[in-house]
Amino acid sequence: MAALKEKRTCAQRCEDFGYFVWNPDTKQLLGRTLDKWVYISLYYVAFYIVMSGLFVLALYVLLSTLSPYTPTYRDRLQSPGVVMRPNTYGDEGLLIVYEVNKPDSYTPLIHTLQNYLTPYNRTEQHAHYENEHCNGNKYFTQNEPKDPEQKLLSCPFYRSSLGKCSGMDNSTFGYPDGQPCIIIKMNRVTSSFRHCPILSTAPVCQGRLLVNVYFLFFKQKGEPKNLHNIEYFPPNGTFDLHYFPYYGKIAQPSYMNPLVAVKFNSLEKNKLLKIECRVVADKISADNIHDPYEGKVEFEIEIKNGTAVNK
C-alpha cells in the first residue's frame, strides 16, 4: 500500500508512463506484447465486422418494410406548414421592410418572387399533365403505382392564375406602389387529405398593428383586425382540391404546389404591421403554439414612405 500512497514526482510518473508505452523487460508495447496486440486487434476487427453486418442487416430489413411511395407514419405532419415568399427574416421571424422610394430596398424581394414563380411558367409544365380531373374542385385521387416506373398524374398550376401578382403584367409585384404581393404556399404532405376532405382551403390574412415607438424601442401589439382592401389570387383565394392528395415525389414527380397570392392594397405606411395568414380548412390546425408555421404564416411588414418621413 505504501508504494501506492507515496507522492510520486512528475519524473517518476513520466518514467512509469514510459515503461507503460514500451517495457523492454517484457517486450510489451502499451501493456501488451506485439502478438497479443495482433490477437486483440483481430478480435475487435471481427467483432466490429459482425456488429456492422448485423446493423446493415437491421437497416436492410427496415428499408425492405418501407413503402417507396408514402412514409409509414406522419406523426409530426398532422397539419401542413404554411410558408410565404418573400421570406426575409428579421430578429424574430419573417419581416418585410422596404422603402417605396428606394428600389434597392425592394429589388431583392421582387427577385425572390420572380425566381420562385419561374417553375410555374406555362412552358415549364408539360401540357399532358392537364386532364379532366384538374377542372372540377374535387380531390384528384389515383391508385398507388404498381411498379416504380409508373408515374402518377398531377395537375399543373400556372403562374397566370395569380393575376396581378403573377409578375407577368407587372414585374414589380406592386412593391414600388406600396401595394406589395406575397405568395402563400402550403407544404406538401403526402396523402394527408385522403381521409379528411377539406371543404375549402383558403388563407385568410388578418393584421395586427405594431406601433413603432422608436424612442422606447418598444413594440406594441394591437388587436387583430381585418385588413381592408386585400386581393386574393386566384380570385377565390383557395387552393383547389384537385391538387390533393399528394402521392409523394417518387409517384408524382411532376407535382406543383398550388399557390395563393395576396395583394395588400392599402397598408398603413411607416407602421410595423404584424400579419397572419391562416389556412382555413377542416383538419388543419393553426393553433399549435409550439409551431408558428403550422397552418398559418405570420410576418411583419413595414412599408416606409420616404416622403412621409421627410415631412
Partner 1 sequence: MGKKGDQYEVFVEMGRDTNGEMDAKIKKKKKVKKKEMLEGMKKEMEIDDHELTIEELEMKYSTSTTKGMSSTLAAQVLERDGANELKPPKGTPEYVKFARQLAGGLQCLMWVAAVICFIAFGIQFAQEDLTSYDNLYLAITLIAVVVVTGCFGYYQEFKSTNIIASFKNLVPQKATVFRDGQKSQINANQLVVGDLVEIKGGDRVPADVRIITAQGCKVDNSSLTGESEPQSKGPECTHENPLETRNIAFFSTTCLEGIATGIIINTGDRTIIGRIASLASGVGNEKTPIAIEIEHFVDIIAGLAIFFGATFFVVAMVIGYQFLKAMIFFMAIVVAYVPEGLLATVTVCLSLTAKRLAKKNCVVKNLEAVETLGSTSVICSDKTGTLTQNRMTVSHLWFDNHIHSADTTEDQSGQSFDQSSETWRALGRVAGLCNRAVFKPGQEEIPIPKREVIGDASETALLKFTELTIGNVIDYRGRFKKICEVPFNSTNKFQLSIHELEDPLDLRYLLVMKGAPERILERCSTIMIKGQELPLDEQWKEAFQTAYMDLGSLGERVLGFCHIFMNEKEYPRGYNFDTDEMNFPTSGLCFAGLISMIDPPRATVPDAVMKCRTAGIRVIMVTGDHPITAKAIAANVGIISEGSETVEDIATRLRIPVEQVNRGDARACVINGGQLKDMTSDELDDALRAHPEMVFARTSPQQKLIIVESCQRLGSIVAVTGDGVNDSPALKKADIGIAMGIAGSDAAKNAADMILLDDNFASIVTGVEQGRLIFDNLKKSIAYTLTKNIPELTPYLIYITVSVPLPLGCITILFIELATDIFPSVSLAYEKAESDIMHLKPRNPKRDRLVNEALAVYSYFQIGAIQSFAGFTDYFTAMAQEGWLPLLCVGLRSQWENPHNQEVQDSYGQEWTYSQRLYQEYTCYTVFFVSIEICQISDVLIRKTRRLSVFQQGFFRNKVLVTAIVFQLLLGNFLCYCPGMPNIFNFMPIRVQWWFVPVPFGILIFVYDEIRKLGVRRHPGSWWDKELYY
- Which one of 110-118, 172-180, 186-194, 225-233 is the stretch in contact with partner 1 (CB under 8 A)? 186-194
Tell which one of 12, 14, 47, 122 touches partner 1 (CB under 8 A).
47
- Residue 40 interacts with partner 1 (CB under 8 A)? yes
Tell which one of 166, 190, 201, 238 touches partner 1 (CB under 8 A).
190
Q: What are the distances in angstroms from CA 177 to CA 181, 229, 264, 267, 304?
A: 11, 14, 11, 11, 11
- Residue 239 interacts with partner 1 (CB under 8 A)? no
Strand-strand pairing, 181-186 and 82-85: antiparallel
Within residues 88-127, the interface with partner 1 by CB under 8 A covers 89
Cα 109 to Cα 88: distance, rounded to the nearest angstrom: 8
Tell which one of 294, 298, 300, 302 touches partner 1 (CB under 8 A).
294
- Residue 54 interacts with partner 1 (CB under 8 A)? yes
The amino acid at residue 249 is K
DSSP structure class, residue 242: G
> What cell does 15 get?
518514467
Cα 130 to Cα 119: distance, rounded to the nearest angstrom: 16
CA nearest to 236, candidates 200, 264, 207, 266: 200
Cα 242 to Cα 140: distance, rounded to the nearest angstrom: 5
Size of the site for partner 1 (CB under 8 A): 51
User: For residue 112, how many C-alpha atoms fall within 13 Å in the half-sphere facing its CB?
Assistant: 15
- Residue 189 interacts with partner 1 (CB under 8 A)? yes
Rounded to a whole number, what is the distance in angstroms from the first to the last CA of the chain? Answer: 89
CB of 51 to partner 1, least distance (A): 6
CB of 185 to partner 1, least distance (A): 8
The residues with which 303 forms a beta bridge, in sequence order, are 98
- Residue 201 interacts with partner 1 (CB under 8 A)? no
Let me know how many helices (H) and strands (E) the chain has, helices first: 5, 12
- Residue 299 interacts with partner 1 (CB under 8 A)? no
Nearer to partner 1, 3 or 216 (CB): 3
Tell which one of 105, 187, 212, 305 touches partner 1 (CB under 8 A).
187
Q: Residues interacting with partner 1, by CB under 8 A? A: 1-5, 31, 36, 39-40, 43-44, 47-48, 51, 54-55, 58-59, 62-63, 66, 69-77, 80-81, 83, 87, 89, 187-190, 246, 248-250, 252, 255, 288, 290-294
